[in-house]
Structure 1
Amino acid sequence: MNLFDPGAALVVSVGLAGGLEAAVGEPPAAVHPVAVLGRLLGRLEQHRFGVPKLAGTVYALAVPAGCALAAYAAVSLAARLPVPFADAILAGLVLWVASSVRLLIESGRRVVELSNTDLGDAREALLALVGRDASGLSPGLVRSAAVESLAENFSDGFLAPLLTFVALSFVSVPAAAAGAALLKGANTMDSMFGYPGRFGWASARLDDILMFVPARLSAPFLAFGAGDPEAPVRARRYAREPASPNAGWPMGTLAAALNVRLEKPGAYTLNGVADYPTVSDSHDAIGAIRRGAVLAYGVAVAVGVLRWL
């Protein structure tokens, strides 16, 4: 086996990202590239130049493209260093900061554990996961919102960058890093600005396009994580309930696999014949997310090993 084979580079990059995710979780917020990007983006909305939709479209395209170009350039430069796997290591660091699952799980667990002991604190903790008004939510709806967010963020914030990284690794290591960075930039723009309105319209639409395939591929990972491989088949009936063209797939899969009712009042109801998630159901959802992430990392490493052999 050639140590400098592209398959070996993929194994190094994904192994590094997965190892750091398991051991550290997230870089400190003060230096986390995504947190720094978020602080910079917070100033963008002030500069609409009198044409909010045009400005929003320019930013929606320029920010992800800038993230991708920066990652591509940095990894390309690293490839010139006289250090084995320097490009793969830097690409792995890009993948690490572009994909997140440990913080998601920890945030979800905190909401669930508080939901039966301190509803006020649970509602406040929920704001780290969702943007909806949580002030009047019952314990069941708080847990529903947490499970919904766990499912959707598994797809958008973890699986999408990872799968894009693996797919573009067949082009080059810099391209893989650029793809993960682009996905994270687009998802960050959507999280911050992708609300109904002229300024956020392009960010929301671009995110819908980029997440179309990952959202559907998230269903089997979550289904296997929940121990119910047939759940995606039953989830098809829920997929079109949310306004988002993508969110219904991961959320519907967990609703089907766990047989729970997931509801955003006034917007959608998934598996309405079931009950809202209990604390135990919600912990099962967290377990499904964790096992789905391990499976996704395993598949990514397996792809690298098969290319390496």
Structure 2
Amino acid sequence: MALPTSIKLFEMAPRDGLQNEPGTLVPTATKIELIERLANAGIRHIEAASFVSPKWVPQMGDAAEVMRGIQRQHGVVYSALTPNLKGLEGALEAGVEEVAVFGAASEAFSQKNINCSIAESLARFEPVLSRANEVGVRVRGYVSCVLGCPYEGDIAPHKVADVAKALYEMGCYEVSLGDTIGVGTPLATKRMIEATRQQVPIEKLAAHFHDTYGMAIANLYAVLEEGVSVIDAATAGLGGCPYAKGASGNVATEDVLYLLEGLGIDTGIDLQVVIGTGYWITRQLGRQPSAKVALARGCTQRTPG
């Protein structure tokens, strides 16, 4: 199959990237500036916050303040994670225009992550989808552990397909397939996509890979060959998972953009500005970016500030 001619990149750094940041809470102003820098780089889809209990995810406790504080750019979608109806109502009050819900392809991971079975999690999403539909807010769906689980091991492709189908039929406009612990390889990835595309149209699927074993870019190339044209990534490779020991961050936006540019695939995003943004945010966090492209090009690519 021919590679896509254009890609929608879904930026995860402000939410998935920062939600598990250890230690001191990241200041609200820093989160807002990160989001605005990403938009200035040409990124048009940014998951900016998560409306969840601060007890469980302290870094996202200022979600409403972040969403209200952004200087929004025309044509940029600023979305938020809303796992339940309370979260959705909070997001609506803060002016969120797109939300997301998340399930898992692993029963054990679902229990550890959100304390319920896969079936129960899907049932919980029904009122969220219903309310979002009432007010004209689009809902994105996530499926975790599509290529492996820290508790169950390998995940059968048909399990992924079943959960993706349920989310799609429930009304999610797009379903993001997440290799949460980053154990996938290209062949396993292709088999997972092949099974899932039998249940959900390929243009409604997105790829969300973590880079624990260094396979994320290889896996992304594999799904591009299958026709996937939506990629989740996080600037500087930020992220991780508290319920998946050893899982590293998301695939770095910088590395994804370098791959896509090398393939002649249009993104409309300025790689140099993203590199600078990655150095800026990791400097705020007291470390270096994990993006291979950023490290190769060095800190001379940083933007002012």
Select the structure with the greater relative contact order (CA < 8 A; seq sep ≥ 6): 1
Structure 1 and Structure 2 fold alike (TM over 0.5): no
With normalisation by structure 1, the TM-score equals: 0.27
Structure index of larger Rg: 1
TM-score, length-scaled by structure 2: 0.27
The structure whose residues are more often helix, as a share, is 1
The structure with the largest strand share of the pair is 2
